[in-house]
């Protein structure tokens, strides 16, 4: 096909089919997915600003004295210590010393923040004590709204600090993190990053930048690195920037380069001697390029092509996007919370605070902490605010709430009036909803083929099923509710008929249950037998196909066959309908 006189469209189709077959037969994408940054578009550009500044005389004196009395320290310990001159100064002047009154980095930071009044600024320092004192400096010297985030805080306190920083109106302009703040938290709503000092480890450097440089970041990132000239900070800044280019680009090879040159780097940081710095930087740069070239050569192209998902992934994305902003979900969720008895407070910014109340239907609500939760139905808001729960149809608060309502018996019986002059007054209909359910472990995959399946039946007074003739939605709009007192009287007057119709429904539903089981069997066999045949064919050409994989599918087919055969049906709910002319 590729070499014939076929059209361009036919050639493209044939080429894609060939690639798909190659990926399926020889790629590792059956059991492994791996996406590289280069394969995914949309990441921001990093604008790097290295800012050298003069070292204060106070630091020069304290560092010289520390060097004279610290002879017994290992080179690595001394190197680490020399990166933080403010801590050395405090050793001599005491914990109450206000190093931030004269540190040129602090002066620069205040100027930068005040110049960026409309921007959120993330500041990362290695030590919690430094973060706390920086917050004090910003507050006392300029009245800047800042909050801190460090390992000495509880999880709840950290969440509050992150939420205060994320808050658009009235929130903190600056979040000052210790090193722990560069791990596990995402602040892609901000694009200003200040590294008040530098980490020893190249991987930690990438962790810091990764708090802002991630999927969801819509702007280029400004990375600011103020450092004191003639100190270990300057040495490390140059090595990161010129040897690894680690500020401007991701650096997966950084640790390996560091391992090769760590002795030289540690000695320079400990002693301040930069005579070898240029050679170390040049050697690091060349070695880094070699390692990146090896990584590039070692890429598994078939794996990368399979990992991006292609058209199938795009279709999933489109389906998910189509459900975003679903007003039916919002209406249902709020009604569900009202039914259960949860408190709901509008917090603004597309957010609600949901908390337990004293009048709840149950002692606790699934997925809702004791002290409540902040929720949002907006995906963009949830991506930028980690303190918010993104509510979708799959969220535990929705699924758990549905299960709760169904298991509590609420709404399992009802009485309604049907105003229809074409039928005699007092005519009764009984609407029955059965549920077919297969009791099986979740890991069996039963939900793919036989999830809890409702069967609706509409029994007339003679025991005939009219469900195929009476569509639910249209019929439901013709019905009127009945108050509890009248409903009780109506049920009492026709109780014998109701029991008779339930018995008729129980007998008639079995035929429909059999059809449900058959459909589940067909779906299961079509899916798993097809996968089994595919693996058996692949095994003939690909030794990576293990016998265990084939045996696992065979076992799954046998287990699911038994679970589907044993699927039970039970009456879930019923509604008595009485004809009235008024």
> pLDDT value at position 555?
93
- The pLDDT, as a whole number, for residue 403 is 84
Which candidate, 334, 346, 371, places its Cα nearest to that of 356?
371
Domain-embedded: residue 353? yes
* Same structural domain, 470 and 576: yes
pLDDT of residue 155: 79
- 531, 391: one domain: no
Q: Are 208 and 176 in contact (CB under 8 A)?
A: no
316: number of Cβ within 10 Å: 11
Instruction: Give the end of a domain, one of 383, 408, 433.
Output: 408
Q: With a cut of 70, say whether residue 147 has pLDDT above it.
A: yes
Q: Is residue 342 left, alpha or beta, with left meaning phi > 0 and alpha meaning psi from -120 to 50?
A: beta
Residue span of the structural domain in which 181 resides: 46-299
- Top pLDDT among 10 and 435 is at 435
Band the pLDDT of 549: cuts 50, 70, 90. confident
502 shares a domain with 442: yes
Q: Do 441 and 389 share a structural domain? A: no
pLDDT at 236: 94
Question: Is 437 in a helix, a strand, or coil?
Answer: strand
pLDDT tens string 495-539: 999 999 999 999 999 999 999 999 999 999 999 998 888 888 878
pLDDT surpasses 90 at 23: no
pLDDT the model gives residue 464: 93
486 and 466 within one domain: yes
Q: Both 184 and 293 in a single domain? A: yes
163, 183: one domain: yes
Residue 36: inside a domain: no
In this prediction, residue 7 carries a pLDDT of: 77
| Model confidence at 35: pLDDT above 80 | no
Taking all residues of the chain, what is their mean pLDDT, rounded to a whole number? 86
Are 399 and 419 in the same domain? no
Does residue 13 lie in a domain region?
no
Domain identity same for 323 and 432: no
Of the candidates 119, 130, 254, 136, the residue with the CA atom closest to the CA atom of residue 197: 130
Name the residue with higher pLDDT: 59 or 387.
Answer: 59
Residue 356 lies in a domain: yes
What CATH number corresponds to the domain at position 379? 3.30.360.80
From 381, 408, 435, give the residue that closes a domain. Answer: 408
Q: Is residue 244 part of a domain?
A: yes
In a domain, 27, yes or no: no
2 within some domain: no
| Local structure of residue 321 (DSSP, 8 states) | H
Section 143-168 average pLDDT: 87
pLDDT per position as a tens digit, 350-400: 889 999 998 888 888 988 988 888 999 988 888 777 778 899 998 999 999
82/132 same-domain check: yes
Q: 396 and 418 in one domain?
A: no
> Over pLDDT 70: what percentage of the chain?
91
Tokens of 294: 């090896």
Which among 385, 408, 431 is the end of a domain? 408
396 three-class SS: helix
- Domains of the chain: total: 3
Whether 261 is covered by a domain: the verdict is yes
Pairwise CA distance, residues 204 & 129, whole Å: 19
Kind plus residue range of the DSSP H or E element containing 448: helix 446-449
Tokens of 395: 């969220």
Q: Count helices and strands (H / E) in the chain.
A: 21, 15
Measured between alpha carbons, how far is 375 from 344 in angstroms, rounded to an integer? Answer: 10
243-252 pLDDT, tens per residue? 999 999 988 8
The token pair that represents 81 in the structure block: 């210590």
Burial of 541 per CB tally in 10 Å (0-12, 13-18, 19+): exposed
Q: Are residues 490 and 566 in the same domain?
A: yes
* Tens-digit pLDDT profile for residues 474-496: 898 889 988 888 888 888 889 99
**Residue 265: CATH number of its domain:** 3.40.50.300
């Amino acid at each position: 096909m590729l070499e014939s006189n076929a059209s361009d469209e036919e050639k493209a189709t044939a080429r894609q089919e060939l690639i798909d077959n190659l990926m399926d037969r020889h790629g590792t994408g059956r059991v492994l997915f791996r996406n590289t940054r280069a394969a995914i578009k949309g990441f921001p550009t990093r604008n790097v600003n290295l800012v050298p500044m003069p070292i204060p005389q106070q630091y020069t004196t304290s560092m010289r004295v520390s060097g004279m009395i610290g002879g017994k320290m290992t080179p690595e310990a001394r190197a680490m210590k020399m990166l933080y001159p403010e801590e050395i100064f405090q050793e001599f002047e005491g914990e109450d010393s206000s190093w931030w009154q004269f540190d040129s980095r602090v002066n620069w930071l205040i100027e930068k923040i005040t110049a960026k009044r409309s921007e959120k600024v993330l500041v990362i320092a290695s030590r919690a004590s430094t973060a706390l004192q920086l917050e004090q400096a910003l507050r006392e010297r300029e009245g800047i709204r800042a909050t801190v985030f460090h390992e000495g805080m509880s999880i709840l306190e950290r969440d509050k600090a992150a939420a205060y920083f994320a808050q658009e109106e009235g929130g903190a302009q600056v979040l000052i993190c210790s090193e722990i703040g560069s791990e596990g938290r995402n602040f892609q709503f901000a694009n200003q990053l200040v590294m008040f000092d530098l980490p020893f480890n190249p991987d930690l450097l990438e962790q810091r930048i990764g708090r802002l440089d991630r999927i969801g970041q819509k702007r280029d990132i400004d990375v600011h690195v103020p450092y004191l000239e003639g100190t270990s900070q300057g040495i490390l800044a140059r090595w990161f920037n010129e040897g690894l280019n680690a500020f401007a680009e991701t650096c997966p090879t950084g640790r390996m380069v560091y391992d090769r040159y760590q002795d030289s780097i540690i000695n320079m940081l400990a002693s301040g001697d930069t005579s070898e710095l240029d050679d170390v930087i040049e050697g690091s740069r060349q070695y880094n390029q070699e390692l990146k070239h090896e990584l590039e050569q070692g890429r598994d192209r078939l794996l990368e092509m399979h990992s991006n998902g292609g058209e199938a992934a795009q279709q999933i994305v489109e389906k998910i996007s189509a459900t975003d902003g679903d007003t039916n979900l919002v209406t249902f969720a709020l009604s569900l919370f009202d039914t259960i008895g949860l408190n709901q407070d509008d917090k603004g910014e597309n957010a609600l605070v949901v908390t337990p109340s004293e009048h709840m239907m149950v002692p606790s609500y699934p997925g809702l902490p004791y002290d409540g939760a902040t929720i949002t139905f907006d995906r963009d808001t949830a991506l930028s605010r980690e303190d918010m729960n993104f509510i979708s149809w799959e969220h535990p608060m929705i699924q758990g709430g549905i299960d709760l309502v169904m298991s509590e018996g609420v709404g399992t019986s009802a009485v309604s009036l049907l105003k229809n002059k074409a039928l005699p007054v007092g005519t009764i209909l009984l609407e029955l909803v059965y549920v077919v359910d297969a009791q099986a472990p979740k890991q069996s995959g039963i939900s793919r083929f036989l999830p809890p399946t409702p069967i609706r039946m509409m029994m007339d007074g003679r025991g005939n099923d009219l469900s195929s003739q009476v569509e639910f939605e249209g019929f439901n709009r013709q019905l009127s509710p009945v108050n509890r007192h009248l409903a009780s009287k109506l049920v009492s007057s026709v109780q014998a008929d109701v029991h008779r119709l339930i018995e008729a429904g129980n007998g008639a539903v079995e035929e429909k249950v059999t059809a449900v089981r058959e459909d589940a069997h067909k779906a299961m066999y079509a899916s798993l037998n097809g996968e089994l045949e595919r693996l058996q064919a692949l095994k003939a050409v690909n030794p990576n196909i293990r016998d265990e994989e084939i045996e696992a599918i065979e076992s799954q087919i046998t287990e699911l066959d038994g679970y589907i055969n044993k699927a039970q049906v039970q009456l879930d709910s019923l509604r008595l309908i009485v004809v009235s002319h008024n």
